[in-house]
Chain A
């Protein structure tokens, strides 16, 4: 009985300590009063483990060593406090960089493909491709358009992967608007039985067709 009680207390202490670490205590300057009852209550339970109990501020909790392994660190990107990574920092493998630059500049770079995002959808395109975009683009047929959201560019021997997109100096994709039309109408019919509810709507989506003219890479990898 005593053993199981102790194990239950250990589990609850771990849970509280975990939650405190998730909330990044040093940034909770204005929110210290959020968990006082829980923290104080738990700390009184865990006085078996000799946790510091003089204050209820989360950042002053000394986590004993045998519980440090439970310290939770996020496996994902901290989206609210993103790390300050210098986007122009050079990679640790200059040899690879040089090779890729050579490849890109060489005469036989061949056909390049790119992953481009247009109108909220991603397409994998090469030159001379037709892309049907289900959106009305404000460019007339015959006008040349530059596609800017490029996520990936690849050739036979190299790939450039953007985080999440590549910069405008590195890649240039040009397309021509070929035609703009309204798709054939679709009937959107809603019906609920025995309630007299029915609605009908004819929907024809405005579409644009683009022809990809060229994909060019420039060796600006820094």
Chain B
């Protein structure tokens, strides 16, 4: 009598072990039942994935805030504020991003000083165009747009 098909249908699926092995490989560092019991471990694993996805986005925000803090400190050392630095560099068409700027502020102080001067001058030029008054003691190359 042909019994193989019935036996095959009634046998447990062969990949159950492998499925659980995948989960335990992901959760072997967790605490207690979260690493040993499948029903709990699979939820912990999914939570970990969700936190990782959120963390990846938050890390970018956090790191950018760190750069801005450092630039704030560095520009205060040169007598500028962070806003003036960034606006001035934008007006001078310098498109170096905050990551590299903060690195230069730490490791290339002379270059950062030059960039701060550029920002100060172009911010002053902008103010001059708006108010008609020249900032003191600064040589400006005035660009007439009209």
Contacts and interface: CB of A to CB of B under 8 A. Distances in A.
Interface of A: 72-78, 81, 83, 85, 91-92, 113, 115, 122-124, 151-152, 154, 157, 159, 161-164, 186-191, 198, 200
Interface string B39-61: 00000001001101100000000
Contacts of B127: 75
B50 A163 contact: no
Contacts of A161: 94, 114-115, 118
Most A Cβ at <10 Å: residue of B94, B110, B145: B145
Contact of A124 (B104, B114, B145): B104
A187 B92 CA distance: 42
Contacts of B69: none
Contacts of B111: 152, 154, 159
B100 A123 contact: yes
Interface of B: 46, 49-50, 52-53, 87, 90-97, 99-100, 103-104, 108, 110-111, 114-115, 118, 123, 126-127, 129-130, 139, 141, 143-145
Contacts of B99: 122
A67 B139 CA distance: 29
A159 B115 CA distance: 10
A200 B23 CA distance: 14
B126 A159 contact: no
B97 A122 contact: yes
Given A187-B49, A190-B53, A200-B49, 18 more contacts: A75-B87, A75-B123, A76-B126, A77-B93, A78-B145, A85-B143, A122-B96, A122-B97, A122-B99, A122-B100, A124-B100, A154-B111, A157-B110, A164-B94, A189-B46, A189-B49, A190-B50, A198-B46
A162 B95 CA distance: 9
A163 B93 contact: yes
A164 B95 contact: yes
Contacts of B90: 76-77
A191 B42 CA distance: 14
A209 B17 CA distance: 39
Nearest to B145: A83
Contact of A72 (B46, B100, B126, B130): B130
B130 A75 contact: yes
Contacts of A200: 49
Contact of A189 (B53, B92, B110, B130): B53
Contacts of B144: 83
Contacts of B100: 115, 122-124
B91 A187 contact: no
Contact of A151 (B50, B95, B123): B95
A123 B101 CA distance: 10
Nearest to A83: B145
A92 B143 contact: no
Contacts of B50: 189-191
Contacts of A74: 126, 130
Contacts of A81: 145
Contacts of B139: 92
Nearest to B104: A124
A190 B49 CA distance: 8
Given A72-B130, A161-B118, A151 B108 contact: no
8 contacts: A73-B129, A75-B127, A124-B100, A152-B96, A164-B94, A188-B53, A191-B46, A200-B49
